């Protein structure tokens, strides 16, 4: 389907939804009781998305926030409250009907918040050609919108362009566990339903890395729909545009604590648990971001760990038979590859079938934040318990 036709179809679909009240994609769980205290009902009733306002818990006063696909403005208005009167919010949307509603209500929201003037600006534009200056945004948010863009790789490049060095994104979107077939890609109805345009989780996250973002990791996920055996699910992801590393700094070393036994980061650097290795200032900057801090020791002298050290982390499967129940695990960053203590090698976004013991392992605190767990079984499984490897280990 031609790009222009996709854009026109999606825009018309959302304009119609705004006029009729039709629900689109998967409605977001907002705290409507809170939002009603300062956002008009006209905005609240046309709010579409696949995750609660993405990233807004991390907003600091005075920051500049960009919302891609701002619609009626609900997330922009909540961001306006959080950044305060000294902050700034920019919303971008391609649908005139949505922009009209958002602009009309901006002054109402500002008055309700006690601001002397609105700190929110709504601009007409496309996600892959944003009318925003280079390097001006602290936080980029988006809620089930990038899925609708025909060329998501261009969107991620645009996000990187407008982000400040040291800036970040937190976006929610719909992805799939396998490539969407052509008969769905060319289904105009399903573009507006956030199905036809879905990338696999692998392609989605790898495209972000290709654009320049690093430290990309899962914030949360939620299963959504299964269409012809394809699992569609919502993910909320965060990543960073790292600032320039200091030109001079003390020697730094990194030691992987675990629970992974081995990991490969987005730049291709491999770390083995317990082994200390020298790192560059750029690598130290990356490993200092939130998704890595619990897993690494960063020191000025080499520090080796072994299983007797309290800082060593490992989570082993139960010493018992297991069952196969239809579960698949998808690694969702911040590594492109990782291994556990039972010989599983996980590659970012690629589904790997796992048994009941591994489901329990990946549900433990050290692993759980990094995985999407899906179940492909169409009905209840009644398999017997088995020992699933010859040496009595797992899988």
354-375: per-residue pLDDT in tens? 999 999 999 999 999 999 999 9
Q: Using pLDDT thresholds of 50, 70 and 90, give the confidence band for residue 46.
A: confident
Other CB atoms within a 10 A radius of the CB of residue 19 amount to 10
Average pLDDT, the chain: 88
CATH of domain 320-395: 3.40.5.100
pLDDT classification of 380: cutoffs 50, 70, 90 = confident
pLDDT digits (tens, 9 = 90+) for 275-330: 999 999 999 999 999 999 999 999 999 999 999 999 999 999 998 899 999 999 99
Mean pLDDT along residues 147-173: 95
- Within the chain, all domains assigned CATH 3.40.50.150 are found at 3-240
CATH superfamily for 3-240 is: Vaccinia Virus protein VP39 (3.40.50.150)
- 241-250: pLDDT as tens digits: 999 988 766 7
The whole-angstrom separation of Cα 173 and Cα 167 is 20
Tell me where in the chain the CATH 3.40.5.100 domain(s) lie. Answer: 320-395
Nearest Cα to 133, choosing from 142, 123, 141?
A: 123
In the predicted structure, residue 190 carries a pLDDT above the cut 70: no
Answer yes or no: is pLDDT of 6 > 60: no
- pLDDT above 60 for 185: yes
Number of neighbouring beta carbons within 10 Å of residue 157: 16
More confident of the two residues 379 and 82: 82
Q: Which residues of 86-112 are buried (b: 16+ CB within 10 A; e: fewer)?
A: ebbbbbbbbbebbbebbeebbebbbee
Predicted pLDDT at 47: 73
pLDDT band at 388 (very low <50, low <70, confident <90, very high): low
CATH among 3.30.2030, 1.10.3470, 3.40.5, 2.40.30 for 245-314: 3.40.5
Q: Name the residue with higher pLDDT: 2 or 184.
A: 184
Pairwise CA distance, residues 49 & 74, whole Å: 11
Which pTM does this prediction carry?
Answer: 0.89
């Amino acid at each position: 389907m031609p790009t222009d036709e996709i854009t026109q179809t999606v825009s018309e679909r959302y304009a119609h939804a705004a006029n009729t009240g039709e629900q689109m994609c998967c409605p977001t769980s907002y705290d409507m009781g809170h939002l009603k205290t300062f956002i008009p009902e006209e905005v609240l009733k046309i709010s579409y998305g696949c995750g609660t306002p993405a990233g807004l818990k991390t907003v600091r006063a005075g920051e500049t926030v960009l919302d891609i696909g701002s619609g009626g403005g609900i997330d922009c208005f909540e961001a306006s409250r959080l950044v305060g009167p000294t902050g700034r919010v920019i919303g971008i949307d391609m649908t005139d009907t949505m922009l009209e509603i958002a602009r009309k209500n901006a002054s109402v929201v500002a008055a309700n918040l006690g601001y002397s003037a609105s700190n929110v600006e709504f601009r007409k534009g496309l996600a892959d050609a944003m009318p925003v200056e280079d390097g001006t945004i602290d936080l980029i948010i988006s809620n089930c919108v990038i899925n609708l863009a025909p060329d998501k790789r261009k969107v991620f490049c645009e996000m990187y362009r407008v982000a400040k060095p040291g800036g970040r994104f937190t976006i929610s979107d719909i992805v799939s566990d396998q490539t969407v077939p052509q008969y769905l890609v060319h289904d105009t109805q399903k573009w507006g339903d956030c199905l036809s345009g879905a990338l696999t989780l692998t392609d989605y996250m790898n495209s972000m890395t290709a654009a320049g973002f690093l430290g990309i990791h899962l914030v949360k996920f939620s299963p959504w729909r299964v269409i012809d055996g394809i699992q569609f699910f919502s993910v909320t992801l965060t990543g960073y545009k790292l600032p320039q590393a200091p030109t001079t700094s003390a020697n730094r070393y990194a030691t992987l604590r675990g629970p992974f036994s081995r990991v490969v980061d987005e730049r291709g650097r491999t770390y083995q648990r317990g082994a200390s290795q020298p790192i560059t200032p750029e690598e130290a900057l990356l490993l200092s971001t939130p998704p890595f801090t619990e897993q690494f020791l960063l020191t000025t002298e080499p520090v080796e760990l072994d299983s007797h050290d309290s800082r060593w982390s490992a989570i082993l499967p139960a010493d018992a038979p297991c069952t196969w129940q239809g579960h698949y695990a998808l690694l969702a960053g911040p590594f492109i590859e990782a291994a556990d203590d039972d010989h599983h090698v996980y590659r970012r976004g690629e589904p790997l079938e796992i048994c009941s013991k591994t489901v329990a392992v990946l549900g433990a605190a050290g692993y759980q934040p990094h995985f999407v767990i899906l179940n492909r079984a169409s009905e209840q499984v009644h398999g017997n318990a088995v020992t699933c490897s010859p040496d009595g280990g797992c899988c």
